[in-house]
Structure 1
């Protein structure tokens, strides 16, 4: 019996999740503390889903950091421009 190689998409998605965590933690420099806390809580939820999907649905794991980034970017851009978070 030949064992198949696992698809790499779950690993790629988890690497992107790690990058997203650094983005979320980096918001502490430009946003109020509670925004950073909300981003980290969102990341924890996305990470739990990623762990659940890692083996049965590895391609879906790729979408989770994309969703997190799609929420992070406009929040930071609009928050720093309109609400004056950055200084």
Structure 2
């Protein structure tokens, strides 16, 4: 007899949906910041995506936090670059 399948946690899917949403913010940043800042932002986003992928199974409840962190880092970077220029 086989064991019933465990329910899949919704948290990693919510977190990855948030990461997908923040990608569009990061990708469109080239319209409002210099090219070097846009490249730096995309590098940060890729690093956060790697963390989210690594935490998918061991820490599924942390993935929405990674997406929120991505959003907060984007806002901070846009404000800082805006103030510096």
- SS of 2:5's partner is coil
RMSD: 1.2
From 22, 37, 40, the equivalent of 1:38 is 40
Q: Is the deviation greater in 61-70 or in 6-15?
A: 61-70
Partner of residue 83, structure 1: 84
Spell out structure 1 runs of 4+ moving beyond 3 A: none
Partner of residue 75, structure 2: 73
Q: Distance in 1 between matches of 2:76 and 2:12?
A: 26
Q: Distance in 1 between matches of 2:24 and 2:64?
A: 17
Aligned length: 83
Q: Deviations over 1:20-60 (max 9, x none)?
A: 11100111000001111111111111111111111121111
Task: Give 1:68 deviation, angstroms.
Answer: 1.4
Q: TM-score, normalised by structure 2?
A: 0.88
Q: Distance in 2 between matches of 1:61 and 1:53?
A: 7
Partner of residue 15, structure 1: 17
Q: TM-score, normalised by structure 1?
A: 0.86
Task: Give 1:79 deviation, angstroms.
Answer: 2.5
